A = this chain, B = another copy of it.
Amino acid sequence: MATQSNTQRVFNFSAGPAVLPMSVLEQAQAELICLPGAGASVLEISHRGAAFIEIMNSAVARLRDLLGISDEFEVLLLQGGSRLQFSMTAINLAPGAAAPPDYVITGTWGKKALEEAQKVCAPRVVWDGKPHNYSEAPDWSSLELNPQAAYAYITSNETIQGVQLPTDLDSPAPLVCDSSSDFLSRPVPMDKYGLLYACAQKNAGPAGVTVVIIRKDLMGRAPSDTPGYLDYRNHAEAESMYNTPPTFAIYLLDLVCKWLQQDVGGLANIERQNIDKANQVYTVIDESDGFYQGHAEKSCRSMMNATFRMANEQLDKQFIAEAREQGLDGLKGHRSVGGVRVSMYNAMPLEGISTLCQFMRDFMNRNG
């Protein structure tokens, strides 16, 4: 970035925290000293005041509208990220069930969720992609899910491996889904889900707020000695004000949802854009004659995170460094797996993708 000014924006392919819509950043900047009508910055106002309650209600209403969430569900805005949800899902949903939960493991985050559930109950692993290094998704019809299970757990998109479940599971037990890295990237048939959660810092906002959509009848099972913050009921009863919510993160979540509604025109539209963007990247990979080696099987390639590597680590490093020089940043794969990762969330503009694809072709021509 030596040729760029100190405040020149790059194309940010970071896996999260990640790129936000420019119009959202501009509104946040314009209002940062004083939220219109509030007399103070949104960073400073009381969470109990009318101005913030309006923001909170707006964010929840927009989420309900975008995802078609019925009154059967609570929409909670929490702290602690997916890590805390790994524990909260098991603590709240496992007790009292006829059988322990079923876990489908398609990558790193599902595995970590399983480890937290193992502290609470005896989860059953019904599918594990480890033998092929987490590059596949299960054939749903081959799974033997227990209808008596407390719940069935899936990770809709594994950010590190770039493996996305291509279809929604019809689960006989309540379906729990970590949707952190593809939340709001496409429509979701919420009637198939019991609990769907996502930390915001991919498609929905900044780091620091986690959206939990939970069917109301699944609450109320947590033992009485559950830490207060970890019981969904407490948050539901207090309308996500069990304690001071992360107000600024919720304000940005609301702005991102407004952008999806008003500028993009809803989740079906953003899905079309995301498929188009992902197809461009995967086409370069598929036409590279093996120069770029995709990690995930084609049937479960992620629309959000394209992961690939080249012939050797040295070339991967060179790719990442040269890309950065050209204003294409955040392409380094997760430190646990290496390689290259192209995160192309909702707010990544088409121009970023075409610039990247051109770079990929050029790099291959120079080094292939």
Contacts and interface: CB of A to CB of B under 8 A. Distances in A.
Interface of A: 1, 4, 6-10, 12, 14-20, 25-26, 28-29, 32-34, 36-37, 39-41, 43-49, 79-84, 86-88, 91, 115-116, 119-120, 199, 201, 206-209, 224-230, 242-249, 252, 327, 329-330, 335
A39 B12 CA distance: 8
A244 B17 CA distance: 8
Given A43-B20, A244-B207, A248-B248, A6 B116 contact: no
Given A19-B44, A25-B43, A82-B243, 8 more contacts: A10-B40, A14-B40, A17-B46, A39-B327, A43-B252, A46-B330, A80-B84, A116-B228
Nearest to A4: B39
A236 to B, nearest CB: 15
Given A29-B33, A33-B26, A45-B17, A229 B12 contact: no
B37 A33 contact: no
A344 to B, nearest CB: 14
Nearest to A34: B7
B87 A229 contact: yes
Contact of A81 (B9, B79, B248): B79
A330 to B, nearest CB: 6
Contacts of A82: 243
Contact of A206 (B6, B15, B248): B248
Nearest to A91: B227
A208 B81 CA distance: 11
Contacts of A6: 36-37
A342 to B, nearest CB: 14
A273 to B, nearest CB: 19
A49 B14 contact: yes
A206 B43 contact: yes
B26 A29 contact: no
Closest 5 CB pairs of A and B: A208-B246, A87-B227, A10-B39, A79-B79, A83-B243
A119 to B, nearest CB: 4
Among A45, A242, A246, chain B packs the most CB atoms within 10 A around the CB of: A246
Contact of A244 (B1, B45, B86, B199): B199
A191 to B, nearest CB: 30
A48 B18 CA distance: 12
A20 B39 contact: no
